[in-house]
Amino acid sequence: MLTDTTIEQWLREDVGHHDVTNHVPGETTGRLVAKESGVAAGLDAAVAVFAYLGVDAAQSVADGERIEAGDAVLTVEGSARAVLRGERVAVNIAGHASGIATKTQTAVSAARQASDDVRIAGTRKTTPGLRGIEKRAVVAGGGDSHRLDLSHMVMVKDNHVAEMGMEGAVSHFRERVSFATNIEVEVEEPADAPRAASAGADIVLLDNMSPAQTAEAVDTLRADHPDVLAEASGGISVEDVPAYARTGVDIISMGCLTHSADTLDYSFRTGQ
């Protein structure tokens, strides 16, 4: 949840200790205008920044809508000083979130070339302090947020297996979680996928496998464990998505949606 404290931190970071550039008298209006096509996201956060400063702000489009160059996505009205104080933070947040949403929609469209069912999901490779905004941007682009934090699902990774063994690790965590909490087990070899399911995994993460290895793992897993979900992850790019979607996996999770998305270019124009 976006709080006033977070917004104040953003504004203090941008303004500094003795700024005079925003000391502009009078009232003004402004528009946030897209300079390229993409998917809108983060506009609610941009509105919250202006509202915190006492500026009236309204979205012209909803998060998740497709926008074109020249579209005004946000309008504001208020004191010139407050508008100018908030505009760069608002532009940065909206541009960052919209870039993530746009990349996510591109990945979802790529997946649909091969499968109508596979989900594109984000990961926890998010920017500290911005996870909520970035996860919502993934959803705005048609993706799945995946787990929001460590408490949402247990993921048994290679380090856990090294310490306790696969079966031991799954048993250890199963005794400690709620009945409503899923357990996912990461494997790096196709032959380990059914082993993870037999150990009690609800989801098997097929990590850093090629599309051919992923398809083999899915086939092996489904033979005896048809209800266990299969997730592909590890260095998957948008260009790789169709090949992985054809393997039969249920989920393709991609860190690049959040850590490598280009910012969507917006311009903030006052007095218009």
Residues designated catalytic: 88, 125, 157, 186, 207
Apex CA 124: angle with CA 37 and CA 73, to 5°?
A: 25
List of E strands, the chain? 27-34, 38-39, 56-59, 66-67, 72-79, 119-121, 154-156, 183-187, 203-207, 229-233, 251-253, 266-270
* Distance from C-alpha of 247 to C-alpha of 139, rounded to nearest angstrom: 23
Q: Which tokens hold the place of 209?
A: 């496998």
231 near 204, Cβ under 8 Å?
yes
50 near 83, Cβ under 8 Å?
yes
Which residue type is seen at 266? Y
Distance set, CA 270 to CA 28, 29, 31, 92, 216 (Å): 7, 6, 6, 16, 57
What is the gyration radius of the CA atoms in the chain, in angstroms? 22
* Distance from C-alpha of 211 to C-alpha of 191, rounded to nearest angstrom: 15
